[in-house]
Structure 1
Amino acid sequence: MPPLTPALPSSSSSQHSPSRDALVLALRAAGCVFAEEEAALIVDAARNADEAEAMAARRAAGLPLEHVVGWAEFHGLRVTVGPGVFVPRRRTEFLVDQALAAAPHASVVVDLCCGSGAVAAALAASLGPVELHAADIDPVAVDCARRNLAGHGGHAYAGDLFAPLPARLRGRVDILAANVPYVPTGEVPLLPAEAREHEPLTALDGGADGLDVLRRVAAEAPHWLAVGGCLLVETVERQAAAAVEAFSRAGLAVRVARDEEMSAQVIIGTRVR
């Protein structure tokens, strides 16, 4: 999992601020590779110089930039995030694009392991009016997702995978996006400190081979998908064969999509009967 990358500054943050040079120096000294861009975002988000300095100090101490400024850029949206919430990765935009290509006329969308609800919000923004649902086991993430989905008329539920979803969704879901945790347990300590120390373990740790949650989702997905509906899950390349096997065992027609430039891989399973 690569380090989190900052979103580009908005046009208002490109204007010079008297405090920006000092912020850049402080961030650079803390090892922030994108110090100038991060300083611009902090200045843009802060209400005054004192708040900007405090925000820069939190960033220098290792807090993810997105948690510092309160949002992340994702698929053209500004998604609200907060402390303790998984930060949506830019490579997951590929999952959104694959979902839109597979089901461009979807009317019922579910986002499992939703975190901030970024995937659900991006799908709704592109599809237009849809019936939108999201779920996560972490109540902090669910509170954040509710804020991000409110403008799309979406609903977010706290619970384990499918358990909190309304039963009336069974057999009706056109897009089931599940950005499951897929880091093998033994590799979690190797993650960047930003993720390891500031994001929930439940959003990162996928079990011994990283596929524990993926297998559970694949096994139950056919009961929730409409005929022609698709399940989309992000993995890494070395997990592809085992992930495809899990989808096939569940009776889904499966294919793998890759984007080398984004280092992204998505397993796509379609309910054909």
Structure 2
Amino acid sequence: MVLTRDLDPSASPLDYYGSELRRLREAAGLKQTQLGAVIYCTGSLIGQVETTARVPTRDFSERLDAALDTDGHFSRLVGLVLRSQLPCWFQAYAEMEARATYISTYQCQLVYGLLQTEAYARAVLGVENPDRLDASVAARLDRQRILLRGDPPVLWVVLDEAALYREIGGHQVMRDQLAHLLSLRERQWLEIQVLPFSAGQHAAMMGSFNLLRFDGDPDIHYSESYDSGHMTANPQVIKERSIGYARLQAEALSPRASAELIARVMEERYGKHPEPAGRAVA
């Protein structure tokens, strides 16, 4: 096991978090097991976070702040820690996403990350990163906090019908995910449209993309490939993609009709049926 004193607090947000936890725990005169008992976890977990073997969650951080009377120190720091767990090429986009006042997205295969349930995210992220799955899921869910702000961004999602039928994680995971989409209908700043198969060829045949708008800053277009992301504020690209997105919205089902389709797929495809043989639910 790596000793905390051997860690370089400046190496990463996670290293800094671990060193701060040990410093403040020892300043409070508490052993790992004693602090664990106070915040309802094991001393082993405290040790794993101190040595960067585990990534802290926001709930864990809030309990630390309460136990150590640190005035929100860990609650503020954990955002940086979780952001650092995102792929390096995605971190810059995540920072811009958190600042955006208007997000428009077209998703051709998967539910948009900000709208994914934990089980759905776990199934998606577990395909290629099973060794760091907990950290990846925690980071994705933490991105969703922007939707819970007092001033959340306006979010408009055009979701390809294919994403409703692509079974991620099993029947129950998909049913819960579609139910979650339906539960978001009451949020006045969020709209979901489904682009139906009947639309045929359309303005986003090249794949998923996002458009971010800001107060006082240029718009940004974002797209990604297998292991990289590309952001641009090029006015011509923004103009073309904005027109393309407007066409997608026009060709998609209305929000009401989209909700009806999501509900129908949820019941007919992911109703109370046995899981296919050999298919585990995440």
Tell whether the structures are fold-level matches, with TM greater than 0.5: no
Higher relative contact order (CA 8 A, sep 6+): 2
Greater percentage in helix: 2
TM-score by length of 1: 0.28
TM-score by length of 2: 0.27
Q: Which has the larger radius of gyration?
A: 2
